[in-house]
Amino acid sequence: AVVRQSAGRVAEGWAGNRKAFISRVWRAIQDSEPHWQLSEIEFKCMLTEAHRAGHIVLSNADLKDERNLRDVQESAVAYRNAVFHFVRVDD
């Protein structure tokens, strides 16, 4: 729930297609939940587990734009045969 709330605060896009870069969600979680004391790797592992369990939905960046290339690179999470960059935010 905290990840979904944090993603909602940093998400971009239009209703029905909002996404938040995983790196931005990670920074928001660090600011709002410092007592979790998670490393970035632990956070990304927890995201993939939450995705696998159906608690959140991760998606990839199909089109990479020079303006957000750093966000794409910092957000990359490999899981099975996919690389995810976003947490989907359903309104």
pLDDT at position 91 is 63
- pLDDT value of position 5: 93
More confident residue, 81 or 63: 81
Average model confidence (pLDDT) for the chain?
92
What is the predicted pLDDT for the residue at 66?
77
pTM for the structure as a whole: 0.90
| Ramachandran class of 23: left when φ > 0, alpha when ψ lies in -120 to 50, beta otherwise | alpha
Residues 6+ positions from 10 with CB-CB distance below 8 Å: 20, 21, 24, 25, 28
Given pLDDT bands bounded at 50, 70 and 90, which one contains residue 68? confident
The predicted model gives 70-81 an average pLDDT of 93
pLDDT digits (tens, 9 = 90+) for 26-47: 999 999 999 999 999 999 999 9
